[in-house]
Amino acid sequence: MGIHDRDYYQDGRSRPGIELRKYSMVTLLVMANAAVFVLDMFFERGSLMNGMAVQTVTIVEPWNWWRFLTAGFAHSPDSVQHLIFNMAGLLFLGRPVEARYGKQEFLLFYLVAVVLGNVAWSGRMYFSGQSAIGMVDGTVIVPSALGASGAVTAVVMLFIFLYPKQTLLLMMVLPVPAWLVGVLLVLTNLLQVNMTGVSGANVAYDIHLVGAALGAVYYKLGWNFSRWWPRQLGGAAKFTRRRPKLKLHVPEDDHEADRLLDKVHREGESSLTDRERKILESYSRRMREKHR
């Protein structure tokens, strides 16, 4: 039984208007990516996307390091499929991952994947001497990368480690276990790297591989970025966690129970220690006994 199904929750009052807190982080990320794609239509074609993309020289331009993040929310204006495929993967496989880790932790994991993949790509391209691909009318042409593929790959790989036996539809047709999808995902990208180079055919395969590696390492080492998040920046967490729908009305142990519930909303139920889980379960039993 999930934490939200337990008896010590009671519905709080709903507030008028639209609250972003009521949406899952996966939904908010899809909305953000779609909004950027639509917004680009009101500019000179591709100008917004190009302005957000990471470039090979970004690694040595600290004033442009914000591109490591914004590139993950920009998609090719020439191919809506680029956006659709990424967001479909995020929607279908991201929601179970978010449910496991919590809203804030999922967002941090996603953003780390975006930044890490773009930093790795820019650094490799620049330091391997591929910072420019030619000149047109006296203007140096600098390669760039954009898209959420690296972050989505990280989410997909984390899902696969969490639920390796879950059945997925390969190519939307063939039912196979999730672990096999993970193997094929990595092998396909490695094969493409060997055939076309790490960024061949306008696809940055190295960003995909970095995302896959992050998902695997994150799971295997039991990382939790929320625990490393500075408490001074905790204000950002107010946006990423829902307000408790249920209020606790028993004076004894209310403070400790509230603290643990806040931790669940912030970091996910899996963040609870065995001792903390027993505290909440004991509290739940006392509430049920009292209201019999």
Phi, psi of 141 (to 5 degrees): -90, 115
- Residue 9: inside a domain, yes or no? no
Candidates 170, 5, 177, 148; CA nearest to 75 is: 148
What are the tens digits of pLDDT across the range 127-166? 877 755 554 455 556 778 888 999 999 999 999 999 999 9
**For residue 218, pLDDT beyond 70:** yes
pLDDT attached to residue 187: 93
- Residue 2: inside a domain, yes or no? no
For residues 79-94, give the mean pLDDT: 91
Least confident of 16-20, 76-80, 261-265: 16-20
- Residue 284: inside a domain, yes or no? no
- Residue 267: inside a domain, yes or no? no
pLDDT attached to residue 11: 44
pLDDT attached to residue 248: 43
Distances (CA, A) of 14 to 9, 17, 49, 122: 15, 9, 38, 46
Specify the CATH number for the domain of residue 105: 1.20.1540.10
What are the tens digits of pLDDT across the range 222-280? 898 988 876 545 555 554 555 444 444 444 556 677 777 777 777 777 777 877 787 77
**For residue 14, pLDDT beyond 70:** no
- Residue 249: inside a domain, yes or no? no
Domain that holds residue 101: 16-228
- Residue 213: inside a domain, yes or no? yes
- Beta bridge partner(s), residue 139: 136
pLDDT attached to residue 230: 65
pLDDT attached to residue 283: 72
| Residue 111: band (very low, low, confident or very high) from pLDDT cuts 50, 70, 90 | very high
What are the tens digits of pLDDT across the range 25-67? 999 999 999 999 988 888 777 778 888 889 888 999 999 999 9
Distance CA 127, CA 140 (A): 17
**For residue 92, pLDDT beyond 70:** yes
Q: How many domains, the chain?
A: 1
Neighbouring residues of 24: CB distance < 8 A, sequence distance ≥ 6: 95, 98, 103
